[in-house]
Amino acid sequence: MSKVAFKAESKKLLDMVINSIYSQREVFLRELISNASDAIDKIYYKALTDDSLSFNKDSYYIKVDPNKDTRTLKITDTGIGMTKEELEDNLGVIAKSGSHTFKTENEIKDGHDIIGQFGVGFYAAFMVADKVTVISKSIESDEAFKWESTGPDGYTITPAEKAQVGTEIILEIKENEEEENYDEFLEEYRLKQIIKKYSDFIRYPIKMDITESKLKEGSEDEYEDVTHEQTINTMVPIWKKNKSELTDEDYENFYNEKHYGYDKPLKHIHINVDGTIRYNAILYIPENAPHNYYTREFEKGLELYSNGVLIMDKCADLLPDYFSFVKGMVDSEDLSLNISREMLQHDRQLKLIAKNMNKKIKTQLQSILRDDREKYEKFYKSFGQQLKYGVYSDFGQNKDLLQDLLLFYSSKEKKLVTLDEYVSRMPEEQKFIYYATGESNERIEKLPQTELVADKGYEILFFTDEIDEFAIRMLMNYKEKEFKSVSSGDLGIEDDQKDATEEAQEENKDLFASMKEILSGKVKEVRASKRLKSHPVVLTADGEISIEMEKIINAMPD
């Protein structure tokens, strides 16, 4: 039995797989399970065209067996198996993907379920194992073969005994070294955890024998270890299910299971798109902002799956900042992954998906606003500020998308109103959308600047967030109505007291001049005002920047 050397390039590549492609060792299991799932899929596809084969889903499974005594981890599948030649071709030549060939040869167009494509995943096993043994029996052959390798120096293939068609992969888990501990890959709970994390939605059962301590029958305090086989994965991903089969509770459970948040989501959005781009997504609008939401620490992002296999925990590119509060996951068959399957090759598809989702998030928020105002106000309390930042940032690029989602407190309605509601209530002669800025609604209500506008019967929007006025400046106008601060010099209100004001101005000319002198450097001008009713004096801004905005700008670090 002579050892066949891996080809020279392969040797280098193998070294790379073992040492540098993957950022985390635990993904070796994801890779082996993906291969097992592919092998079962291949029988399924073959059965579609081959009448002598039948596919009974129940007889196909993947099994994961750790053994601490022998320090081995065995992964068994009932898939299509490999012939001697296939063992040589697929496992002897690195970067050769039998699965990729299978897809092309069988012209499986919607064979997107088959995960393999690069022909390197298998070798991830060497990240945790000193020796890998593969015993396989192909559906095409009566003989079984054993492939064995201890890493870069080559492999052997010998005849073997195996009754059932399929593949068994035995990893001899590495001994611990000073700083490296491999024991975790023999621990039931840890393996379970890894399977849940990456392979929860593999469509075939992934089984393990789980030992649990249980009360002995008939005894009240004596325990015994009971071992029984459990299926670890959920199999059918909730996002591939039909919306009509799912209840609100199902979505809430998924939210909790996935630890998207500790609150109850305000709303879920289930998206199944099957057109030029194909993806499924389950998104959530949380009720409460996480404690670090408005800090630098907060990391936005959605889970990204490719064919039900987790690729990225937090894919930030899927969400714009103004919707960074959205939680959830996206699964797509159309992503071009890089070789480690941890990153994307091109972001074109991702951009398309993000854009499409964005619209849906907006539509959903609008419908909450329309149909459940109370709920929307809850949402707005947590995340309204973020929407306003969204309007302000990117030079107002997103204003069309976001402006209808904004709410401001109204002087007349005494509650939050949308811009659309404001404009639709405007009397015909009213030219502007008026707003007043201040620390709180109570304070704004007392501002002398609001008097004339309020007296006219016009509604005033109260801006109490620092960002409010900045955001509004980016909008410039809404439905062709410009925004106007009540503290701006010209309020654009028809003046029926013009003569009286001019008279007062003339009469008090000297007084105003001496006041200006006393306040020199603090005010630009002192003059008679037509806008006061009950207050003796009012400050107005020179030009378009309001007093509040001036304060904020002055407080900004240079």
Residue with smaller CB distance to Mg ion, 38 or 548 = 38
The answer on whether 97 is annotated among ligand-binding residues is yes
Query: What gap in Å lies between CA 332 and CA 473, rounded to an integer?
Result: 39
Fill in the per-residue mask, 422 to 461: x = in contact with ligand ADP (CB under 6 A), - = not in contact.
----------------------------------------
The answer on whether 325 is annotated among ligand-binding residues is no
Query: What gap in Å lies between CA 219 and CA 210, rounded to an integer?
Result: 22
Query: What gap in Å lies between CA 396 and CA 479, rounded to an integer?
Result: 16
Residues composing the chain: 558
Fill in the per-residue mask, 15 to 54: x = in contact with ligand ADP (CB under 6 A), - = not in contact.
----------------x---xx--x---------------
Element (H, E) at 384: helix 373-392
Q: Please choose which of Mg ion, ligand ADP, none residue 36 contacts, taking the beta carbon within 5 to 8 angstroms, the exact cut-off set by kind.
A: ligand ADP
Element (H, E) at 395: none
Query: Residue with structure tokens 């891996």?
Result: 6
Instruction: Scan residues 35-64 and list those touching Mg ion (CB under 5 A).
Output: 35
Residues touching Mg ion, count (CB under 5 A):
3
Element (H, E) at 485: strand 481-485
Fill in the per-residue mask, 11 to 40: x = in contact with Mg ion (CB under 5 A), - = not in contact.
------------------------x-----
Instruction: Scan residues 110-149 and list those touching Mg ion (CB under 5 A).
Output: 116, 121
328 lies in the binding site for ligand ADP (CB under 6 A): no
121 lies in the binding site for ligand ADP (CB under 6 A): yes
**Chain-centre distance of CA 246, in angstroms?**
21
Given a contact cutoff of 8 angstroms between Cβ atoms, the answer to whether 284 and 308 are in contact is no
DSSP secondary structure letters along 104-154 = HHTT-TTGGG----SS-GGGGGGGTEEEEEEEEE-TT-S-EEEEEE-STT-
Instruction: Scan residues 78-117 and list those touching ligand ADP (CB under 6 A).
Output: 79-80, 82, 90-91, 97-100, 116-117
The answer on whether 82 is annotated among ligand-binding residues is yes
Query: What gap in Å lies between CA 43 and CA 410, rounded to an integer?
Result: 66
CA nearest neighbour of 300 among 269, 278, 322: 322
Eight-state DSSP code of residue 322: G
385 lies in the binding site for ligand ADP (CB under 6 A): no
Q: Please choose which of ligand ADP, Mg ion, none residue 79 contacts, taking the beta carbon within 5 to 8 angstroms, the exact cut-off set by kind.
A: ligand ADP
Q: Please choose which of ligand ADP, Mg ion, none residue 453 contacts, taking the beta carbon within 5 to 8 angstroms, the exact cut-off set by kind.
A: none
331 lies in the binding site for ligand ADP (CB under 6 A): no
The nearest distance, CB 124 to Mg ion, in angstroms, is 9
**Token pair of 407 as six digits:** 């709410």
**Token pair of 511 as six digits:** 């007084």
Give, in order, the Cα–Cα distances in Å from 382 to each of 8, 118, 293: 59, 44, 9
Residue with smaller CB distance to ligand ADP, 98 or 438 = 98
Q: Which residues bind Mg ion (CB under 5 A)?
A: 35, 116, 121
Binding residues: 31, 35, 77, 82, 90, 96-98, 117-122, 167, 341
Q: Which residues bind ligand ADP (CB under 6 A)?
A: 31, 35-36, 39, 77, 79-80, 82, 90-91, 97-100, 116-122, 167
